[in-house]
Structure 1
Amino acid sequence: MTSAAPRPKATPKVIAAITIGNGLEFFDFTVYGYFAIVIGQLFFPVKDKAYELMLALGTFGIAFVARPIGGLVLGLFADKVGRKPAMTLTLILMALGALGVAVAPTYAQIGLWAPVWLTVARLVQGFALGGEVGASTSLLLEYADDHSRGYFGSWQFVSQGFSSLLGAGVAALLTNTLSHDALYSWGWRIPFFIGVLMVPVGVYIRRHLDETLGHRAHADESAKAKLKEAFSTHAKLIWSGVLLIWGGTVATYLIVFYFPTYAKQYLGMPLSVSLWAGVTASAILIPVSIFAGRLSDRVGRIPVTWWSRLALVLLVVPGFMLLVHYRTPAVLLGVVAVLSVLLALQASPGITFITELYPRPIRATSLSVVYSLGVAIFGGTAQVIATWLIKLTGSELAPAWYMIVATLLSSLPFLWLKETAGKPI
């Protein structure tokens, strides 16, 4: 029988140390989405604007291919060596990937090698981020007691909200202050350089965190033994987790990251206006995620997640209908605000619930693989599928219907999984 590490003292400084690094990595990874239209024109110059956008979003999604590999490799590293060294390694790798994007030559400069360069840089970013979520979320929950894990887990999405807010804010600032030529020649690179420069800050502030892995006996287990335990003994929990991730990640990538592109491409709004959709969504994620985490500590993960998902299913189509009919910035921000509240209500308890399903010795590995697989299969493809569905059906409501299908099917595991709130893990 293995023993768990004594639970270290949790302080605001500790939460900040864990989540700031996580937020920095998500900033580097997701800011790409806010410049998808610009990157599409610079790296994938084709006549059909829809295909140009799909290629740019495809490069956004290609990074997700590497996330399960990174989740497996870095998750095993976190369960064997420790959460802290794994999180430091992911930060360094993310910086390398962001630097690759920042200095990438365009199609006009090196031709077909430009998208190849971009793809490699995005794959490095995907590999790094694949291991970050499992290690950082495991560390957050292992600092918490049995009655505060929802609150601690919520900081995973608070950090993502901060990073998305920063990314959207920087994008909005650049598009409103730079000329078209300046934005397309060098301005779009600035956020990626910012991301590179912020990574050393994350490495520094994580130096003094306490390790929570537990007894060194865990470190003596082979990777093969850990994988066998995760994918054989707990196989049903692994695939249930992947299914649960589906609805949440599709909603996240469509509401937070796709809406600015959607508003520009299909609603005819200027990029400088449409980017405020991303700012709005990100700003709402921060306080509502904390509220949802605390609420799930009191009433349970499953009720909060389930009812917020049901509300999203009922409201997403009417929201898109309002957008298509009125096509004004006020309606855009109003719809995004409502949907973002429902997203935050399900996301925070959801990631906590999934993390609590797995025992400590394989927690980082299991969560990294589950999250990375779910996001790679469903999150990385969400924007491409939404764009393809609009082109296929001719309906600007298509993304809403896809979100409904994903949300309903991904909620099936609630039929057989048991509540985890308040129970020892």
Structure 2
Amino acid sequence: MKHTDSPRQQRRILLAVGIGTTLEWFDFTLFAIFSLHIAKTFFPAQDQLMSLLATFVTLAVGFVARPLGAFLIGRYADRHGRKKALILTMNMMAVGTVLIAFCPGYSVLGYGATVLLVAARIVQGLAAGGEIGSALAYLCESAPAARRGFFTSIQQVAQAGSFLLCGLFASILATVLTPEQLGSWGWRVPFVLGVLIYFVGVYVRRTIDESSAFQAHARQGIEVPAKEILQHWRSLVLGIAFVALWTVCTQLINFMPAYAQAMLNLDAGKAYYGITLVGFITLLSPLGGWLSDRWGRYNVMLLGALGVLLLAYPAFLALKQNPQDSGLMLLQAGLAMLMVLYAGPASAALAELFPVAVRSTGISVAYASSVVLFGSFTPTLVTLLYRHTGDPMMAAYYLLAATLVSFVALMVARQRQAANTARDFHDQAA
């Protein structure tokens, strides 16, 4: 952040950005964790696996709405400011959370309940599409260049906070409530908490100042047309590929409770504990950002991607051959550790691809598009592939495919960076 910022202002900026990200991932993670109960509540229950698939499709609908929200809210942030956009996304996210928390089920409203659930996910998808770009643009523009990787990793810390809250609530509810109580009303309790988080978050966001970089850009009075983002199509493609591994790995970790129960015949409750463990590990994300400030974004991210390429297949194979709760938790923890190295620097790497004039739009569109293309249908595709093959290894194959996409993009980006550095050196020498 600016060196002139007081410690109090620095904490307020981090809190304002972090709490919105926490609410976004808190709600999303809850939806994935309690997918079995949501399926029984909002969809006909003749076929449990088909109801589960319908729930995953509903989850994916929210992701499909993200690119539209990314473009609209990203443009809003690039024209009117990061602060206004952050408040807008917070309000929209709260609307969706309230609907999910209090909407009656299929037994009361029939398909009307299903429609309301889908509507809630669309509103949340629009908000989430704009949140990531506005938040990362704000953090990137408020941080000193030499510490940008460290400070933008607050996005991952906020995600870790949501994992911890979700894992904690899921574990407590699974312990103190009967399965019938949890499926009937208990799963709604954490969503109500999400509404309370909103009031704190919107208050804090109203107290922050606009980033100095955006203020300087706004003073120039230059109106940037919407099509300007297309001039940066190479950066968009790289950004989409960067996020592929990030989003697929996150979806798989969230999917583990359903994966454990439906495909490995394990206790889903143990996977809830694993998500709590993932939350604690993800708190180490600033370490990945800090390392990237010293060794380079792409070098540290490549190390994380290489770890996934080498370890994913044997880890999933061992779990398939010997399904155990301890093995499932070890897999979750291993993926989380590798994401510390990959996703920790990824926020800064994504933000640095775009100039101030289109930064929020670029981040938002790249991130949301990747989530739709690679992440949103992860649970659905893995479940469908398992239904047709009966092979739990489908999850590993999909993860490896996404990792290859990100690995190749990182190699291209590193080569591109080296070429730009060499060109700048020759220009200065001339």
Name the TM-score class by shorter chain: over 0.9
> 1:82-93, aligned counterparts within 5 Å?
82-93=81-92
- Residue matched to 1:282: 279
- Residue matched to 2:262: 265
Structure 1: gaps (5+ residues): none
Shift of 1:221: 4.5
Structure (1 or 2) with the greater helix fraction = 2
335-344 vs 407-416, which deviates more?
A: 407-416
- Residue matched to 2:60: 61
- Residue matched to 2:206: 207
- Residue matched to 2:185: 186
> 1:46-195, aligned counterparts within 5 Å?
46-195=45-194
- Residue matched to 2:350: 354
Closer/same/farther in 2, CA of residues 79 and 104 from structure 1, 3 Å limit: same
State the AA in 2 paired with 1:259: M
Shift of 1:361: 1.4
Shift of 1:8: 4.8
- Residue matched to 1:378: 374
> Counterparts of 2:251 and 2:349 in 1: how far apart (Å)?
20
> Counterparts of 2:354 and 2:4 in 1: how far apart (Å)?
17
> Counterparts of 2:387 and 2:151 in 1: how far apart (Å)?
41
Shift of 1:48: 3.2
Give a deviation string over 1:53-72, Cα, whole Å, max 9, x none: 11111111110111111111
State the AA in 1 paired with 2:348: T
- Residue matched to 1:19: 18
Shift of 1:104: 1.6
Give a deviation string over 1:306-356, Cα, whole Å, max 9, x none: 121011111111111222222222221112111110122111212211110
Give SS of 2:146's match.
coil
- Residue matched to 1:405: 401
- Residue matched to 1:248: 246
> Counterparts of 1:336 and 1:414 in 2: how far apart (Å)?
24
Q: Does the 8 Å contact 2:12/2:208 carry over to 1?
A: no
Shift of 1:216: 5.5
Alignment RMSD: 2.0
Amino-acid identity (%)? 35
State the AA in 1 paired with 2:379: Q
Closer/same/farther in 2, CA of residues 318 and 79 from structure 1, 3 Å limit: same
Q: Does the 8 Å contact 1:301/1:353 carry over to 2?
A: yes
Structure 2: gaps (5+ residues): 422-430
Q: Does 1:44 align with 2:43?
A: yes
Q: Does the 8 Å contact 2:217/2:357 carry over to 1?
A: no
> Counterparts of 1:138 and 1:7 in 2: how far apart (Å)?
19
State the AA in 2 paired with 1:277: G
> Counterparts of 1:354 and 1:218 in 2: how far apart (Å)?
25
Structure 1 length-normalised TM: 0.92
Give SS of 1:411's match.
helix
> Counterparts of 1:63 and 1:221 in 2: how far apart (Å)?
34
Q: Does the 8 Å contact 1:90/1:132 carry over to 2?
A: yes
State the AA in 1 paired with 2:134: A
Shift of 1:265: 1.5
> Counterparts of 1:276 and 1:209 in 2: how far apart (Å)?
36
